[in-house]
A and B are shown apart, each in its own frame.
Chain A
Amino acid sequence: MSKPIFVYVTYIAAPPERVWEGLTKPDVSEKFWFGYRVNADGKPGARMTAFNPAGKQVHDDPIIESDPPRKLVYGWKSLYKELPDERPSRVTFTLEALKGQTRLTVTHDDFDEGSKMFDMISKGWPAVLSSLKSFLETGRGLESTWDEEQRRHAGQA
């Protein structure tokens, strides 16, 4: 048995600069990332932070490499207490310009064998990246009711 690696390639009819904004700026990410505010706008050594729609922080990971708008690498460890406590894994985004379009490759690796987080991200990335593509091409991410529910719960708390 070998260590699991997740690789996903998608082609997006938008220039790499716009894809980069979607991956790094919370004001953009919340429009397609099911309400999550993901900030990965810093230089290597700075932090990647993410907040769920209820305002709870779910990520505080190191930015390992940042070469806008070509390559972004950050660590990945969820702060959700409900999730299995595994050591951090690593996410690499590679953006290649193709005639004003972008080939986006997402590689998520450095998991231990049998990682439960690997199963979760393997389901999660296709949804997030499908929504990113829809958002950049049509102005609308894929709809989710989850973010509305989270905001509502936060309001009641």
Chain B
Amino acid sequence: MTKPYFVYVTYIRSTPEKVWAALTDPVAVSKYWFNMTVECPFTPGSPWALKYDDGRVADTGEILEADPPRRLVIRWRNEFKPELKAEGYSRCTITIELAEYYPGMGGKAVKLTVEHGLEGEGGKFIEAVSGGWPKVLSNLKSYLESGDVAFKE
């Protein structure tokens, strides 16, 4: 049996620097990530936390790799739902590159790839992020391209 693993690719009319800034700037994050705030200096080894706007902690972890504006790896655990927290730490790898949409197609945009897998066994955490990431990344793309977001809960 293969372990559940989430992969999502979106192409954004932007620059890698702007995408990196949107992923790491708390003000930007709150605009497309449903008012969540992120607290982190985004340097390797630094603690990382995602909080609801009322201050409750949603997720915590640690920055494993930070190579602006190309690559960010976060060790990530849910803190809010006991059944998700019980599955332990996950690893989220975010890759940012200027790429052709398709080989030979010409025309470049920022290719943003998010990969998210558990370090151990389990399926609930990956199921949860599989529902969440498309909303967040759709909104991130809209935020960078139009200044607004696509999906309001």
Contact = CB atoms under 8 A, between A and B. Distances in A.
A156 interface: no
B109 A34 contact: no
A133 B146 CA distance: 11
Contacts of B106: 144-146, 148-149
Contacts of A145: 105-107
B10 interface: yes
A127 B101 contact: yes
Nearest to B113: A126
Given A11-B134, A99-B152, A145-B106, A137 B11 contact: no
Contact of B10 (A98, A99, A124, A126): A126
Contacts of B134: 8-11
B149 interface: yes
A142 B151 contact: no
B138 A126 contact: no
A81 interface: no
B104 interface: yes
Interface residues of A, number: 29
Nearest to A2: B2
A133 B139 CA distance: 11
Contacts of A146: 104-107
Interface of B: 8-13, 101-107, 109, 134-135, 138-139, 141-142, 145-146, 148-152
Q: Which 5 A-B pairs have the closest CB atoms?
A: A145-B106, A127-B101, A144-B107, A11-B138, A130-B11
26 contacts: A8-B134, A10-B138, A11-B135, A11-B151, A12-B150, A13-B148, A13-B151, A34-B101, A34-B102, A99-B152, A124-B102, A126-B9, A126-B11, A130-B10, A130-B109, A130-B141, A134-B141, A137-B142, A137-B150, A142-B11, A142-B13, A142-B101, A143-B107, A144-B101, A145-B107, A146-B104
